[in-house]
């Protein structure tokens, strides 16, 4: 019997925990959710696990598979479950159950939800199960038991295509004040071929890892003195960022956007009024108090932009107002969750906000759509779209009333319908203030990333009382569109570096042409060619070191320079150039004018 892959992965997470507990009976269990391509389990045990333990653990997992242990569900009252896990000496399970009893399902974190969804209330009128009275556990054989909603496979013989990948530290429930557990990650698939293909892809991903390539290409660095999650950009990396940012700006400028600038700090009152304080107060860098006001580093830009719009009264004739701003934001991420450029504490956004009438929202969103579909194909990304909607089962997670959400979601649904593209519904993926279109880009090795967004916001204009005067001279509530093309420039560059393996297209490469003089006698010709190519607008470097030609070529190749020109006696006149193209072994002979035309074509 075949099972959905999520059930296989969740059952394998239980299998992992059962094996670890058999090997180390004192193990305390955290949670073991399904994640993309696999699972993890948070464990508290006396032995410090390393990847050297994986063979031993996997052997025990296969022993349990061979025993064909059955997965059996048992339902019990929450109070009885607390006593049950007290007897099992499982303090983390007890904490979850007590929170569920006293605070209800609102206390459940997303990664804990797999333990609690299938609970019930004794309310005879069919009341909500936000404060359930019962929960369920799952046995794996007669020894291992876990708090879990299920479902699972029938028995362990249905499992087996898995591999343990790594172990990392993780604070219990994501709180650094709590004990640190050991999080063991694994992958699981329905077939061995799928697993093997995934392992091959991971090996390729390691070869492309931006955390390794970025410093090797001299694009960015981190400093212990500055602090984790705070990248520093080199001249080449800064050039790369500026080229990308200017590309986005030129696309926006054609569509009527205007640049604005904002400070990096704000009073707490701004975020209280916008609603961000309640949602993000634990992620804010609070820096100082002056004259009774608490200040914080900005984690996002939209509330600041509302105040630029609010500086004066507007007529409907003045709308849309389109503000663009590339600026750094700051979030107090936990150290253990930082990951190169993918997740940082300081990140720059190519942010833009459109203030317009509801009747203009669709047209403005379509302009942003066009920018996105001009920008991403330039890098060879293919896109698909997710319509990210609110979750009607959890209205407490969102600002604004149901009617506003219905209107906003209707506009975005109309857009994807008219575009006649394949798109997916993302219930629960909306921002807390409005629905959005999320654009998903597939990279060169098949991984999918969420990149650009178009977000339609009817709530922030309400909170800040943003209006325009309509044709009758009456105040009319406007709407706000949030538009990020790259989003976080840092995160986009982490994706782009791995997508291209650092071999950027010629128009983007920080150095487009490396000139390699054979000896000092050829430096004047190299300098002359450097001046000519620079005058034409190309980015050129001259390697004047006394290294061998072969070593200079290898250096340029490691830097992924698109073109290398070796200058010896034959090339001194610059009438004919010896051009080595990136990733090609043969050297091409071409006239300088031909080479310049080739570069110009690639730049266009």
Handedness of CA 450, 456, 458, 464 (dihedral sign): positive
3-state DSSP call for residue 444? coil
Integer CA distances (angstroms), 519 to 326, 516, 552, 567, 578, in order: 44, 9, 11, 9, 15
3-state DSSP call for residue 43? strand
Integer CA distances (angstroms), 185 to 50, 63, 140, in order: 12, 20, 20
The whole-angstrom separation of Cα 159 and Cα 166 is: 20
Residue 259's φ and ψ, nearest 5 degrees, are: -75, 140
Contacts by residues 216-219 (CB-CB < 8 Å, ≥ 24 positions apart): 216/502, 216/558, 217/497, 217/502, 217/559, 217/560, 218/559, 219/493, 219/497, 219/510
Stated length of the chain: 604
- Residue 387 pairs in a beta bridge with 425, 437
| List of E strands, 115-246 | 134-140, 144-147, 162-171, 180-188, 220-221, 232-233
The whole-angstrom separation of Cα 314 and Cα 320 is: 10
Q: At what angle do helices 358-375 and 235-253 cross, to 10 degrees?
A: 140
CB 441 within 8 A of CB 495: yes
Integer CA distances (angstroms), 403 to 399, 400, 459, 467, 536, in order: 12, 8, 11, 19, 57
CB 137 within 8 A of CB 148: yes
Nearest by Cα to 353 from 291, 296, 310:
310
b/e 248-276 (16+ beta carbons within 10 angstroms → b): bbebbeeeebeebebeeebebebbebbbb
- Residue 326 pairs in a beta bridge with 350
DSSP-derived pairing of the beta strands 162-171 and 587-591: unpaired
> Given its phi and psi angles, is residue 446 left (phi above 0), alpha (psi -120 to 50 degrees) or beta?
left
Active-site amino acid positions: 302, 331, 349, 351, 353, 436, 482
**Dihedral angle, C-alpha 76, 80, 82, 84, nearest 10 °:** -90
3-state DSSP call for residue 415? helix
Structure tokens at 267: 């009073």
Structure tokens at 602: 């690639």
Residue at token pair 């896990």: 85
CB 376 within 8 A of CB 451: yes
Count of other CB atoms within 10 angstroms of residue 470: 12
CB 17 within 8 A of CB 144: yes
């Amino acid at each position: 019997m075949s099972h959905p892959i999520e059930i296989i992965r969740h059952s394998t997470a239980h299998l992992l925990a059962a094996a670890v507990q058999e090997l180390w009976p004192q193990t305390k269990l955290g949670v073991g959710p399904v994640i993309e391509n696999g699972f993890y389990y948070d464990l508290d045990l006396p032995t410090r696990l390393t990847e050297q333990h994986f063979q031993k653990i996997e052997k025990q997992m296969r022993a349990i598979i061979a025993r064909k242990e059955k997965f059996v569900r048992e339902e019990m009252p929450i109070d009885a479950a607390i006593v049950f896990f007290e007897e099992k000496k499982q303090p983390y399970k007890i904490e979850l159950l007590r929170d569920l009893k006293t605070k209800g399902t609102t206390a459940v974190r997303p990664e804990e939800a797999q333990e609690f969804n299938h609970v019930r209330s004794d309310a005879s009128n069919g009341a909500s199960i936000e404060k359930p009275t019962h929960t369920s556990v799952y046995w794996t054989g007669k020894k291992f038991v876990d708090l879990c909603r299920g479902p699972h496979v029938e028995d362990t013989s249905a499992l087996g295509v898995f591999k343990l990948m790594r172990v990392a530290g993780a604070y219990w429930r994501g709180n650094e004040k709590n004990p640190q557990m050991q999080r063991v990650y694994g992958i699981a698939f329905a077939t061995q071929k799928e697993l093997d293909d995934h392992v091959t892809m991971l090996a390729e991903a390691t070869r492309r890892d931006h955390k390794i390539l970025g410093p090797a290409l001299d694009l960015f660095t981190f400093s212990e003195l500055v602090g984790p999650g705070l990248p520093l950009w080199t001249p080449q990396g800064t050039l790369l960022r500026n080229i990308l940012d200017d590309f986005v700006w030129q696309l926006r400028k054609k569509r009527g956007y205007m640049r604005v600038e904002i400070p990096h700090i704000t009073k707490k009152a701004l975020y209280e009024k916008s609603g961000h304080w309640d949602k993000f107060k634990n992620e804010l860098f609070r820096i100082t108090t002056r004259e009774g006001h608490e200040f914080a580093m900005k984690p996002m830009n939209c509330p600041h932009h509302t105040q630029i719009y609010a500086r004066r009264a507007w007529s409907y004739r003045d709308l849309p107002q389109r503000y663009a701003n590339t600026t750094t934001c700051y979030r107090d991420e936990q150290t253990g969750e930082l990951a190169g450029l993918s997740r940082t504490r300081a990140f720059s956004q190519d942010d833009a906000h459109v203030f317009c009438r509801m009747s203009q929202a669709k047209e403005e969103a379509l302009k942003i759509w066009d920018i996105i579909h001009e920008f991403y194909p330039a890098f060879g990304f293919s896109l698909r779209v997710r319509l990210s909607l609110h979750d009607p089962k959890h209205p407490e997670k969102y600002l604004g009333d149901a009617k506003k959400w219905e209107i906003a979601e209707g506009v975005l649904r109309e857009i994807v319908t008219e575009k006649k593209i394949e798109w997916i519904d993302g219930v629960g993926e909306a921002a807390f203030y409005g629905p959005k279109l999320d654009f998903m880009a597939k990279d060169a090795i098949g991984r999918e990333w969420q990149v650009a967004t178009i977000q339609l916001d009817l709530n922030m204009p309400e909170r800040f009382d943003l209006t325009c005067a309509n044709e009758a001279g009456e105040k009319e509530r406007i709407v706000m569109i949030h538009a990020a093309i790259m989003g976080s420039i840092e995160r986009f560059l982490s994706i782009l570096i791995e997508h291209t393996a650092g071999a950027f297209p010629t128009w983007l490469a920080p150095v487009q042409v490396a000139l390699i003089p054979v000896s000092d006698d050829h430096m004047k010709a190299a300098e002359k060619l450097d001046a000519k190519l620079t005058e034409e607008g190309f980015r050129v470097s001259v390697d004047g070191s006394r290294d061998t030609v072969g070593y200079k070529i290898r250096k340029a190749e490691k830097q992924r320079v698109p073109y290398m020109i070796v200058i010896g006696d034959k090339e001194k006149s610059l009438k004919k150039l010896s051009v080595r193209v990136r990733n090609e072994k043969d050297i091409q002979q071409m006239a300088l004018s031909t080479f310049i035309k080739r570069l110009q074509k690639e730049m266009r």
